[in-house]
Structure formats: structure tokens, C-alpha cells
Amino acid sequence: MSEELGITVKKDKDFSEWYTQVIQKAELGDLRYNVKGFIVFQPWSVLSMEKMYKYMEKVLQKKGHKPYWYPTLIPEKNFKMESEHIEGFTPEVFWVTSHGNNEPLEEKLALRPTSETAFYQMFALWIRSYNDLPFKTYQRAQVFRYETKATRPFLRSREFHWIETHCAHATKEDAMKQVYEDMETTKEVLHDIYGLPFIFFERPSWDKFPGAERTFAADVLNPDGKVIQQPSTHLLKQSFPKAFNVKYKDKDGIDKYTWITCYGPAISRIFASVVIVHGDDKGLRFPWKIAPIEIVITIIKPNKKLIKEANKIKEKLEKENYSVEIDSSEKNPGEKFYFWEMKGVPIRIEFGEKELQEKNLVIFRRDISKKEKIEQNNLIKTIKEISSTYDKNLIEQAEKLFNNAIVTANDKKSIKTAINSGKIVKCEFCSVEDDGKECAEWIEKEVQAYVRGTKLDETEKPEGNCPICGKKATKIVYIARSY
Amino acid sequence: MSEELGITVKKDKDFSEWYTQVIQKAELGDLRYNVKGFIVFQPWSVLSMEKMYKYMEKVLQKKGHKPYWYPTLIPEKNFKMESEHIEGFTPEVFWVTSHGNNEPLEEKLALRPTSETAFYQMFALWIRSYNDLPFKTYQRAQVFRYETKATRPFLRSREFHWIETHCAHATKEDAMKQVYEDMETTKEVLHDIYGLPFIFFERPSWDKFPGAERTFAADVLNPDGKVIQQPSTHLLKQSFPKAFNVKYKDKDGIDKYTWITCYGPAISRIFASVVIVHGDDKGLRFPWKIAPIEIVITIIKPNKKLIKEANKIKEKLEKENYSVEIDSSEKNPGEKFYFWEMKGVPIRIEFGEKELQEKNLVIFRRDISKKEKIEQNNLIKTIKEISSTYDKNLIEQAEKLFNNAIVTANDKKSIKTAINSGKIVKCEFCSVEDDGKECAEWIEKEVQAYVRGTKLDETEKPEGNCPICGKKATKIVYIARSY
């Protein structure tokens, strides 16, 4: 394959250029659409993201979330009902103000940047008593944000594809149970299906969602040492149920305000992490369960007979529910091999005159880049074996990198050194409440890194002092650069 | 069940009120969202529409359409590139004009009412030679139209959920082949899966899509005698590929403009037809393949033991991939039965102390409203039998009604009589080109009905004269009232 068609940089050497090339050459998204910050998602990413949606929705439904489709437009007045929310989101809102031939709308409508202010007015109509709680919902939707930072395809766009769950609970304790359930869902889907290692943090007080009492989020690691915030969960302040009057009658018939949580896995953004975490110098490596296709049959020197026989192999595989494509193009074998490796298809079957004669097949697996010759009779058995261990291999590779990236540091200098060499720093810290903000700002200014928060699922106890201010540490935090 | 909870009118007596009650009482959509013409789609419709999407997308992908996600926003300048299109759609466009704190955008952006003007500029970048053709795409998306007519949930909303396919072809003949394929897809999905009988028409010249050379559409029948246009297919004028420069090099290396077709099954609107065509006086009747759940187990006088046993039955069914819910509420059996019949679940299993003792189950099927007592051991066998014939029953019932609604009429008076009694009229007609428009307008004015067009897949030949103007008939057309 010519240099220009393949990926021409090493992932570790020039990650940014590597990412740009993979998006373009594997035809994941086209950046030439003529609205700034918007891209066209192409089949090779859409097919994978549809599978990502499917798994996420299946788990959410199993846990009792019911699917809704809300309007894309939210009246300005809804938006203004919660003061922190309007302050936090207004700068990013696109406004629909007219229709037809410049006729003004009666009221400005927001293209939803998120849907709290659409959902909760309806919750107020539907929720009556404690019997209705927890009230667990979700929707698959696009959201829109007028980003002022530089956009990057999939990572930060002005329109992205996500799921948002919104749940109302009787008590704050029930709401916190939901936060833990969301963390579990993140593990079941992001880790176990998409193959992405992460840490589920509680964010420091100065880094919360507008209108949240507590904010939680999973951070995934990039090879350049930056972390990306993937799903976040928010325990909202009661200013939300109060603004939208989301009440219930408890067992004694007394009206109480609900507690509301929301969780937002952004599928098109998580897809970026799938590309980044699993990709290598040759290009993409899709986890089996979310690969656009699982198997490609590349015919070597294609002719009528070989194409016919390849179709028989395809049918046999499809009967077992594998998704298969045949490459019978006139390119030379090497070109074909590199092309499908760049595209990240888990298995390539090489099939030519020799294999036809000898009743063999050559199987190449992308996870460990190994070829093996098998008898045609053993095809299904072999594919079953590979598919059952494939994702495990990818996850283990990703976990190793992730765990190696975490280092402990106890003073300013070693924090700086570690961050500069692309690590995530674990360290003791004075406080994640407002009084720790000054130390976090020092880190931001001097190291260009951020206090990502405390691990939700661990009760590590600090024993020393904050490496920044020297006061007694109250928390163990993680520090990293981020997107 | 109290009168208020059930459907209180007969479908045939007051169809409009029946429809309103079904939408509300079966919790398909909530009309109380505070933007005019927008509704909240509730779980009971979303679960079904997701299945509708799944089947439609599967068939489209099988036929070689690749999935894309385009931006929701289209620049005003794209929109203006095809003059008929801008004229036809501008009155219905919502415009995004500002962001943040009333800061104007550099360019007005349309909330897509349809995506021709977004797709084809990208086609121009991607299509190079005849080898790339046919270039078959689709997207699942919401579209937005500032409707000035009265909106009705699912039938006509300002935001609806659809699929749009866009295909580029080398020749007009290839494009017409795509039109026939779209008709076949409509049959495979709307008829065979959703159970909706339809006629696939070519629309008269005066009733074409803005920018189309020929327009085709499937009409589905309502019990009030009105037809609803469901998917339409357009063979676009070459003004579109010319405006967006969608060219290819033919085998001789000569640049030629492509021919473009598009097809638009509006899932949320087709859902209205599913409700309308299959529903009866008790409420919904979902086809098996697109039912939100397939089976409900209603426990009679629930207690711990019965709930435990019901869960065992549920697990047994789920192992066979059936979707099942248990109703262990405290309502009396009659109330539960009516509730789930109103919700349209295909099968209800009645299970109480008596059935537990006798190792029996009572099975009620919604398609033919019949109960049957079976041994518990025969459960899976029985469900398999029912599920294999269920949709066939519904389709046959719908087809009978549809075919009975079509009558032949040969003069003005009998056309009027037939239309007034809720029929679709088949009649000979002078012309479906512009010179037939006057006769069509007479029908519109005098009978409040419309010439829907000529059947695409039939070559019926007229023998007499046009019943309106008396000139020699050139076509056999169908006339109906419509939404």
C-alpha cells in the first residue's frame, strides 16, 4: 500500500497527527461539511456507534430505565428556571428564533445542549406518589453546544450523539444508590463491552456541573497522557425539582420534593476513546462486539470460481451470525491486508487458489497481529475460539497501559515531572471542597494539569500532607492533563 | 376498569376521539410539552418505533444502503441552491440565527426539514467514477417543519423521526430501478412487518416534491376513509446534481451528472398508521414483531408464591427470547385484562392459584380476542404457534378492510357518493400531466378529495372517458380524501 493510503506516523510519536489520519483514512468522519464544528459521521463509525448504543440501551433497560424521545427544542423560559444551569449553559446555546421568511417565533427556542429543563417539567406531571419512585428514564438524542474551544472530530463537536438518563428518587440516599448504579453501568458497558479502562471520580467542588450538588465522572486515558471525561453523573441540587415542581406524596401523604440524578454517556465522544485506546500504528483495532464488521474475506487474485467459493464461506459464517464482507477488488494482496488492518476489522481470512486446492484458509487476527493456517472444516470452531477471547486481549492491553500510567507523587517537583512525562498522578491533597481550590489553581498554572477528584469506589486514607500547601491532607486525589 | 381508564368511544363511530384517547390512555405520547406542535414520545411508542427502525434499517443495509449521521443544521446557502426546493420548503423552515447571549451567527442555519441539500454537497466530494455507482446511503434522523396546518400527534408534528435514503445513479434507468426497489422495501417492511396494506402510487404532475421529476408514494388507509401518505420516493430533477456538482466519470472517462433518488419512511408517522390500522374498540393491537412487549403475565390475586412462580414462567419465556412483563399489581383481574388489551400486548397469560394447582395456564391472544386453557408444559410450544401466525391474522384483517374500501366509479355522482361513504375511488381519468389538473381541481372543490395518482406496479389500461371532462381517459387513477 502506498504511504499516503496508510497511517504515516507512529501513534506514540505524534498522537495528534495519528488521530487526524485515522479519522480521515479509515473514513470515520468527514470534516468538510460546511458548518463550523459539525462533521458528517460516515458508515464505518456509524455502524460501530449503533452497536455501542445497542449495548448501552440494553443495560439501561435491564436496570429499569424507560426510553423516551423528547423534543429537540426547549423554550427559553424553561432554561431560565434554574439559575446556575442558565448561567453555565447559556454561552453554549444555539437559538432558534424565526421560521419561514424571517418571521419571528413567539418565543426563542434552545437547541438542547442537555435536557434537564425539558424532562423535569414532564416529571412533575407524571410523578404522583412514592409508588412511582424511582422514576428512571433515558433518551437517545443529539445535543448541540456552541463550543468556543477548538473542535476535534468525535472528541469535541458542536453536535454530538449521546444518551442521557434522568431519574427521580424519594431520598438523597436513593439518589446516591443511583450514582453507584451508574458507575456499575459504566463498568459493564464502557469497560466490559467497549474495552475502555477508566477511573470513576467524584469531581472537586470547583468542577461541578451547573446546578449539581455532587458531580461524578469516568476519566479515560489518551496515549499522550491526557484524560478524557467520558460519562458523567450528577446528583442535582434540589433547586431543580423545586424549579420544576417535581414532588411526590410519601407513605404518610405528605408532599416532598424528589432528588434527581442524571447520567450522560456521549456515544460519539466515547467512540473517540475506542479509536484512541485500541488503535495502533497501523490504524484502528475494533473490539469484537462493536466492530462494524467482524470478518473480511480477502480474495487473492480473484476470479469467478474464487468469488463463488468465498461467497459460500461468507454464507456459512453468516449462518452463525457473524458479519462478513468480501474484498474481491483488484488491489494486490498486501494493499488489501493493510487496508483492512487500518480499518480495524478483527479477523481477516486470506483465500486464494492455493487455499482452495489445499482446503485451507489463512486467518489473521488484528488483536495480536498473528496469522495461522487452518483447515476449512475448522473455520467456525476457530472463529468461535478467537471471538471468545478477542476482547479480553484488547482490554488487557489497554489496562496495562492505563495502570502503568498511574504514579504516586508526594512533592511539587515529582508531580511536575510525572505529568510532563504523560502520567496520571495520584497524590494526597488538602481538600476537594472550596478551600482546596487554591492548591488546584497552583497545579493548573504551574503544571497545566487538573485535580480530577477522588475515586468513588475506594476509601483510601491519606496519611501525610498536601504537597502544594503543606496542610494536613484530607483526600487522595488524581491529577492529570485533560481534553 | 372504570370507563375513564378504557377507551370510551367506538373506533368506527368517532375515529378522531378514539385516536386521541388511544394516544393518551395507552401512554404513547404526551401533548403537554410546552412548545406548540412538539410532543414527548413515551416508552410504549418508543419501544415499538425502535423495533420499526431496526427492521427498516436491516432491509436497507441488506440492499446496500450505508448508514450516515449528517448534521441537523444546514446553511441557508445550501438551501438556496435548488430553486424549487427553497420555494417549497422555506415556509416550513425553523431558523437558527444566534447563540449564547443573543450573538448573531455568521450565517443563518436551517433545522433540516429534509436533507437533500446537506447530502449532495458531500456526494460531490465522494463520487468519482461509475465504479462508485450506485452510491446508496441513508440516515436515521429527526426532521423539523413549521407546520401551519393543525398538528396531530404522530400524524403531523413539527418534529418527526424518520429515515431518509439518498442514492446517486449513473443513468435515469438505474434511478427508476431504485424507485422499484423502494417499492419492494415498502412491501417487505410496511406490509410484511408492520402489517400495513398500501398502494404505491406515482403522483400526478401537480403533486410532486419540490425539485422532483417524478414523485412516488405509498398511501395507507384510515378507517374514516382518508388515506395517509407514508414513505414517498422521488426521482429528482437533474437540477439537484447540477446545483451540487454531483458528477462521475463514465467508462470512457467522460464527466456526467448523476441521477438522484430519495426515499423517506417517517417512522413516527408510520407508527400512527400502525395504531390506526390495527387498533380496535378496546385500544391498540400491536403486530408481534413490533410490539413493545410480546407477553404479559397477569397474576390473579398475587401473593409471594404466585409471584415467584410467575417469575419462573417469565424466565422460561425469556430464554426463548420472548419479551415479557409481569403484572402483579393489586388491581382486580378484569381491570388488568382490559388495561393490557388497551395497550395492545399480543399475548396475555392469566395465572392464579387455580392454574398453579392444576398446572394450567390461560392464554389470551389479542389478534382474535380468544382465550384458551393449556398445560404449563405446553407453554413454549403454544407461544411458538401463536407467534408464527399472529401477524398474518392482523395483516389479513387489515387487507380485507383495505380491499373493501376500493370501489370503481364512472361518473361524478358515484365518485361523490363513494367518497362520502369513506371509500377510495378507482376511476378512469383524462391525464395525470398538467392538462389533467383542472379535473383534479374540480374533484378537490366538489368532493374534497384528491387524485392520488396511478399505480406504479400495474399496467391497467383505461377504455372509456374521463368522468369529469368527458375527454378520452389516458390513465386509471385513485381518488381519496387524505390527511
**Secondary structure E strands in A76-155:** 94-99, 103-111, 135-144
| CB pair distance less than 8 Å for B93 and A100 | yes
What ipTM was estimated for this complex? 0.96
Chain A residues inside the 8 Å CB shell of B93: 99-100
Q: Counting one residue from A and one from B, how many pairs have CB atoms under 8 Å apart?
A: 140
Option in B41, B94, B122 nearest A96 (CB): B94
CB contact under 8 A, A72 and B159: yes
- Biggest CA-to-CA distance, chain B: 80
Q: Is B67 on the interface with A (CB under 8 A)?
A: yes
A483: pLDDT confidence band, cut at 50, 70 and 90?
A: confident
CA-only gyration radius of chain B, Å: 25
Q: What percent of chain A has pLDDT over 90?
A: 92
Alpha-carbon gap: B88 to the closest alpha carbon of chain A (Å):
11
- Cβ(A214)–Cβ(A235) under 8 Å? yes
C-alpha cell at B21: 384517547
State the average pLDDT over residues B133-153.
95
CB-CB under 8 Å, B99 with A97: no
Record: contact B71-A159, CB cut-off 8 A: yes
On the question of pLDDT at B83 being above 80, the answer is: no
Determine the Cα–Cα distance for residues B128 and B413; give it in Å rounded to an integer. 57
pLDDT of the residue at B460: 77
d(CA B406, CA B403): 6
Distance (Å) from the C-alpha of residue B118 to the closest C-alpha of chain A? 8
Residues sharing a CB contact under 8 Å with residue A273, sequence separation 6 or more, in sequence order: A194, A196, A220, A222, A228, A230
Higher pLDDT pick, A483 / B459 = A483
Handedness of CA A24, A30, A36, A37 (dihedral sign): negative
Q: Which residues of A touch B39 (CB under 8 A)?
A: 71
| Largest interatomic CA distance in chain A | 81
Q: Can you list the positions of beta strands (E) in B34-155?
A: 40-41, 66-67, 73-75, 94-99, 103-111, 135-144
- As a whole number, mean pLDDT of residues A144-162 equals 94
- In this complex, the residue of A34, A93, A98 whose CB is nearest that of residue B95 is A98
Of the options 3.40.109.10, 3.30.70.3040, 2.130.10.10, 3.40.50.800, the CATH number for the domain spanning B293-386: 3.40.50.800
User: Is the bond leading into A134 cis (omega within 30 degrees of zero)?
Assistant: yes
Reported as a single tens digit per residue, the pLDDT across A342-359 is 999 999 999 999 999 999
Q: Rounded distance, CA A30 to CA A315, Å?
A: 33
Residues carrying CATH 3.30.110.30, chain B = 405-482
Task: List CB contacts (< 8 A) between A35 and chain B.
Answer: 71, 73-75, 109
Residue A5: is its pLDDT beyond 90?
no
User: A100–B78: do the CB atoms touch at under 8 Å?
Assistant: no
Is residue A40's pLDDT more than 50?
A: yes
Cβ–Cβ gap A146/B99 under 8 Å:
yes
pLDDT band at B86 (very low <50, low <70, confident <90, very high): confident
CB B299 within 8 A of CB B327: yes
Count of CB atoms within 10 A of residue B230's CB?
Answer: 22
Beta bridge partners of A138: A67, A165
Average pLDDT over residues A225-250: 95
Residues 6+ away with beta carbon under 8 Å from A285: A278, A279, A344, A346, A366, A367, A394
Residues B41, A69: C-beta atoms closer than 8 Å: yes
The three grid cell numbers given for residue A477, joined into one nine-digit string: 486525589
CA-only gyration radius of chain A, Å: 25
What pLDDT shows up at residue A80?
87
Tell which CATH architecture fits domain A15-278.
2-Layer Sandwich (3.30)
Query: Within chain B, which residue ranges are assigned CATH 3.40.50.800?
Result: 293-386
Phi, psi angles (nearest 5°) of residue B421: -100, 20
Would the CB atoms of B35 and A109 count as touching at under 8 Å? yes
Residue B480 near residue B444 (C-beta atoms within 8 A)? no
Q: What is the DSSP string of A250-283?
A: -TTS-EEE-EEEEE---HHHHHHHHHHHH-BTTB
Question: A94 and B91: CB-CB below 8 Å?
Answer: no
Cross-chain CB nearest to A90 (options B32, B101, B161): B101
The verdict on a CB contact (< 8 Å) between A71 and B109 is no
For position B311, what pLDDT does the model report? 97
- CA-nearest residue to B144 within chain A is A72
- Mutation target to probe the A interface, by most A beta carbons within 10 A, among B24, B31, B34, B120 is B34
Is pTM, for the whole model, over 0.90?
Answer: yes
Residue A204: burial class (beta carbons within 10 Å; 0-12, 13-18, 19+):
buried
For residue range B158-176, list pLDDT tens digits in order. Answer: 999 999 999 999 999 999 9
The reply to whether residue B39 touches residue A71, judged by beta carbons under 8 angstroms, is: yes
End-to-end CA distance of chain A: give it in Å, rounded. Answer: 33
Q: Which residue has the cell 410532486?
A: B208
Q: Do A95 and B94 touch (CB under 8 A)?
A: no
Contacts of B73 in chain A (CB under 8 A): 35, 38, 94, 159
Average pLDDT score over chain B: 95
Please report how many Cα atoms fall inside a 13 Å half-sphere around the Cα of residue B239, on the Cβ side. Answer: 13
Class of domain A295-386: alpha beta
Task: Write out chain A residues lying below 8 Å of B66, CB-based.
Answer: 43
DSSP, residue by residue, A157-194: -SEEEEEEEEEEESSHHHHHHHHHHHHHHHIIIIITTT
Going by pLDDT thresholds of 50, 70 and 90, the confidence category of residue A223 is confident
Which grid cell sits at A203? 469531581
Other residues' Cβ atoms within 10 Å of the Cβ of residue B423: 22
How would residue A1 be classed by pLDDT, with cut points 50, 70 and 90? very low
CB-count exposure of residue A457 (10 Å: 0-12, 13-18, 19+): exposed
CB of A100 within 8 Å of a chain B CB? The answer is yes
pLDDT band per the 50, 70, 90 thresholds, residue A4: low
Count CA within 13 A, CB hemisphere, residue B466: 23
Measured between CB atoms, does B68 come within 8 Å of chain A?
yes
Cβ–Cβ below 8 Å for A78 and B34: yes
Contact B218, B198 (CB under 8 A): yes
The answer to whether residue B75 neighbours chain A at the CB level (below 8 Å) is yes
The shortest CB-CB distance from A68 to any of B35, B40, B70 is to B40
Residues comprising chain B, all counted: 483
Interface with A, mutate which of B39, B40, B138, B329 (most A CBs under 10 A): B40
Taking residues A97-124, report their average pLDDT.
Answer: 96
Whether residue A161 and residue B69 make contact (CB cut-off 8 A), yes or no, is yes
Residues 22-41 of B with CB under 8 A from A: 30, 32-35, 38-41
Residues in chain A closer than 8 A to B71 (CB atoms): 33, 35, 38-40, 159
User: Which among B96, B136, B315 is the top mutation candidate for probing chain A, defined by the most A β-carbons within 10 Å of its own β-carbon?
Assistant: B96
Architecture of domain A405-482: 2-Layer Sandwich (3.30)
What tens digit of pLDDT does each residue of B409-442 get?
A: 999 999 999 999 999 999 999 999 999 999 999 9
- B2, pLDDT greater than 60: no
Backbone phi, psi, residue B249, to 5°: -90, 125
| Confidence check: pLDDT of A442 > 60 | yes
Among B221, B273, B204, B222, smallest CA distance to B444 is for B204
Give the distance from residue B401's alpha carbon to the nearest chain A alpha carbon, in angstroms: 32
CA distance B294 to B346: 6
For the ranges A74-88, A183-197, A235-249, A274-288, which has the lowest average pLDDT? A74-88
Beta bridge partners of B406: B424
Average per-residue pLDDT for chain A: 95
Mutate to test the interface with B, among A34, A50, A161 (most CBs of B within 10 A): A34
Q: Residues of A numbered 421-440 whose beta carbons fall under 8 angstroms of chain B's beta carbons: which are they?
A: none
| Inter-chain residue contact B78 with A47, CB threshold 8 Å | no
**Would you tell me which residues 102-141 of chain B have a C-beta closer than 8 angstroms to some C-beta of chain A?**
102, 105, 109, 111, 118, 121-122, 125
Is beta strand A347-351 parallel, antiparallel or unpaired with respect to A295-299? parallel
Whether B97 sits inside 8 A of A95 (CB atoms) is yes
A47, A70, A95 member nearest B99 (Cβ): A95
Contact B40/B161 with Cβ under 8 angstroms? Answer: no
Q: Which of A366, A363, A362, A371 is nearest to A397 (CA)?
A: A366
| Residues in a beta bridge with A425 | A407, A479
B1: confidence class by pLDDT, cuts 50, 70, 90: very low
Please identify which residue in the block is written with the cell numbers 426510553. Answer: A67
Exposure of A35 in the CB half-sphere (CA atoms within 13 A): 27
Q: Average pLDDT for residues B325-351, to the nearest whole number? A: 96
Please calculate the CA angle B354-B360-B366 and round it to the nearest 5 degrees. 105
**Interface test with chain A among B33, B62, B89, by most A beta carbons within 10 Å:** B33
CB contact under 8 A, B142 and A97: no
The pLDDT of residue B157 is above 50: yes
Lowest mean pLDDT among A327-331, A458-462, B66-70, B225-229: A458-462
Which cell is B73 given? 443544521
Q: Is A97 on the interface with B (CB under 8 A)?
A: yes
> Quick one: how far is CA B129 from the chain centroid?
35
Question: In this complex, is the C-beta atom of B94 within 8 Å of any C-beta atom belonging to chain A?
Answer: yes
At B197 the pLDDT is: 96
Residue B394 has pLDDT above 80, yes or no: yes
Q: Is A273 exposed, middle or buried (0-12, 13-18, 19+ CB in 10 A)?
A: buried
E-assigned strands of B133-189? 135-144, 159-169
Q: Between A40, A73, A146, which is nearest B38 by CB?
A: A73
B315 phi/psi in degrees, rounded to 5: -60, -40
